[in-house]
Amino acid sequence: MTTKKEQQAILKPSKEVEEVGKWWIKAAAASREHTSLDEARDFNENWASLTAEPGGVDYIEVDAGGVPAMWAIPKGCTENRVILCFHGGGFFSGSMYTHRKLYAHFAKAIGCRALILHYRRSPEHNHPAQVNDSLAAYEWLLNQRIQANHIAFVGDSAGGGLAITTLLLARDKGLPLPAATMPFSAWFDMEVTGKSMETNAEKDLLFTAEGIKEMAGMLLGANGDRKDPYANPLHADLSGLPPVYLHVGGDEMLLDDSTRFAERARAFGVEVGLDVFPGMQHSFQMAAGRAPEADDSIARFVDWVRPKLGLGSHS
């Protein structure tokens, strides 16, 4: 249940979070203008400029079970608690570098380490490469003697999808599941069928329905199954999943991905929380450390996940 304070409308976005919207306008224009995938990826690497440097965090690149990854280690953190982080970028862009600072903010506020993945990207690598990489990194964490109930998943956009599909694959392979998962602005629907694709079409500054369909095609390949539950968890059996807490912007075309997933997960008996942030754009949390709305979202996640990781309430 969300509180009245959590449900209150944000009447005017802060100047800092408006910068995210301006960036998405540039990104959308650039995606139309770029003549190559490499150019689009190079442009998107600048996402990191949206996020303030958290400070007091060390970064170490590592091979996580064959998957390139980066540790974000806040000073004085509890090192046997870990968040496994899946970056966004439509599965074709984004990296552990674009999201280094964002997930360091999460780790620093929680008081744990973050492992930020650099999974294989489309279209060079089709599904299930991405979810297989994510599972390999999770298994690697378990082999590092990190207890499953001391791990939480977190991911934005495409990474929000992986924060669920990796759970499904782990469950189906008989692995112990993490304590919780935190998808935000998650992309689940490879069929692009949500009503918010229409109702938020004029509000969303980044996406178009055709653009999302194109990204799904890049991920799944020409003959890919858009109902594959390891790519589209709206078609999955969700029984047995750990608690899920979703955040989504009210102006996103992907709004219904989160609302429909929450409804479906509850029907399978999963503990689910969902916060919709009125007036917010896709992945507004990228403005962490600069925008109060981004910091509010992260603070809600922190307050929710710390007890689940056995860290107690925030002091």
Given 99, 105, 282, 283, the catalytic residue: 282
Given 93, 95, 134, 157, the catalytic residue: 157
Q: How far apart are CA 193 and CA 289, in angstroms?
A: 34
Known catalytic residue at 282:
yes
Q: How far apart are CA 303 and CA 315, in angstroms?
A: 10
Given 105, 252, 258, 293, the catalytic residue: 252
Q: What are phi and psi for residue 263, nearest 5 degrees?
A: -65, -45
**Tokens linked to 107:** 């780790």
Pairing of strands 244-249, 180-184: parallel
CB atoms within 10 A of CB 244: 25
Query: Residue ranges of the alpha helices (H) in the chain?
Result: 4-7, 15-33, 37-44, 100-110, 129-143, 158-172, 196-199, 209-220, 255-267, 292-308
Contact between 285 and 249 (Cβ < 8 Å) = no
Q: How far apart are CA 115 and CA 82, in angstroms?
A: 7
Contact between 24 and 205 (Cβ < 8 Å) = yes
Q: How far apart are CA 173 and CA 80, in angstroms?
A: 24
The residues assigned a catalytic role are 157, 252, 282
